């Protein structure tokens, strides 16, 4: 079992009608924590969580309103996580990052130092993009990419990218003949594979393409990656045969320039 794990969950999985999935997600994280693993959660959902309080029915398109929704939603989102973590006596630490933080060597080092200290203190870091100050020019674009870079930052052995689909398939899973891709060898270009988008329109920004791109970034740095459904997170963290596994490169490294290159 991996000793240092990053888990990424998207907006559509823990907001709106799916807000109840926070409890089972925390159950799975707590089980890994109890086994001695160091766990980092990268969670989207601040904007989606804040939207109802701004009386918004759809995700705002202008940056200022996104920032306002994130400001309200981030506080509520972490509160909901902590309320669930209290059942296990686990304390969460909030970490908000921008793309610029991981491009700037000094900021990157500070973020790395803080994360290491949190993990050493057995605090569960909850990471999100700092939407209230991020601009269109420096945004990660989606938290799958952020999760891959956080995995590099902390030297994670495993990155679990959660979705509303249980794995990658040879064609969109609702089509006849679609077959699960169990393993993606290092460097496999997945040629001939029809990748359908995942995620709920109007809430999240990610999809299958962003997950594959993020998985390749993390795997190239030496972190194994598993893509699976949020409903299967407990099985994923217990080492069951679920989802799609991206084999990691043999040589582990932290690519300082990966943000600009990816």
Question: 163: annotated binding-site residue?
Answer: yes
Count other C-beta atoms under 10 Å from residue 102's C-beta: 22
Judge whether 131 is annotated as a binding position: yes
Name which of 234, 164, 247 is nearest 198 in CA terms.
164
As a whole number of angstroms, the distance between CA 4 and CA 158 comes to 7
110 in a known ligand binding site: no
Contact 220, 177 (CB under 8 A): no
Binding residue per annotation — 44? yes
143 has binding-site annotation: yes
Residue 247 in 3-state DSSP?
coil
Separation between Cα atoms, residue 169 and residue 9, nearest integer Å: 20
- Given phi > 0 = left and psi -120 to 50 = alpha, else beta, which region is 170? alpha
Residue positions in the annotated binding site for substrate? Answer: 44, 131, 143
Residue positions in the annotated binding site? Answer: 8, 44, 131, 143, 163-164
Residue positions in the annotated binding site for ATP? Answer: 8, 163-164
């Amino acid at each position: 079992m991996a000793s240092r794990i990053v888990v990424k969950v998207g907006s559509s999985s823990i907001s709106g009608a799916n807000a109840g999935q926070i409890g089972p997600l925390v159950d799975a994280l707590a089980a890994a924590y109890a086994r001695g693993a160091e766990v980092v959660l990268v969670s989207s959902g601040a904007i989606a969580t804040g939207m109802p309080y701004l009386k918004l029915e759809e995700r705002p398109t202008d940056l200022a309103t996104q920032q306002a929704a994130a400001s309200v939603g981030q506080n509520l989102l972490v509160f909901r996580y902590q309320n669930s973590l209290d059942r296990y006596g686990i304390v969460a630490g909030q970490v908000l990052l921008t793309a610029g933080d991981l491009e700037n060597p000094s900021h990157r080092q500070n973020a790395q130092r803080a994360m290491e200290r949190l993990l050493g203190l057995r605090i569960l870091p909850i990471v999100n993009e700092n939407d209230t100050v991020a601009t269109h020019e420096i945004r990660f674009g989606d938290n799958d990419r952020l999760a891959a870079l956080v995995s590099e930052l902390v030297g994670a052995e495993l990155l679990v990218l959660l979705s509303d689909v249980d794995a990658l398939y040879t064609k969109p899973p609702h089509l006849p003949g679609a077959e699960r891709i169990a393993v993606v060898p290092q460097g496999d270009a997945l040629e001939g594979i029809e990748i359908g988008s995942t995620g709920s329109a109007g809430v999240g920004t990610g999809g299958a393409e962003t997950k594959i791109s993020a998985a390749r970034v993390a795997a190239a740095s030496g972190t194994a990656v598993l893509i699976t459904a949020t409903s299967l997170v407990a099985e994923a963290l217990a080492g069951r045969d679920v989802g799609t596994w991206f084999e990691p490169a043999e040589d582990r490294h932290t690519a300082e320039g990966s943000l600009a290159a990816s």
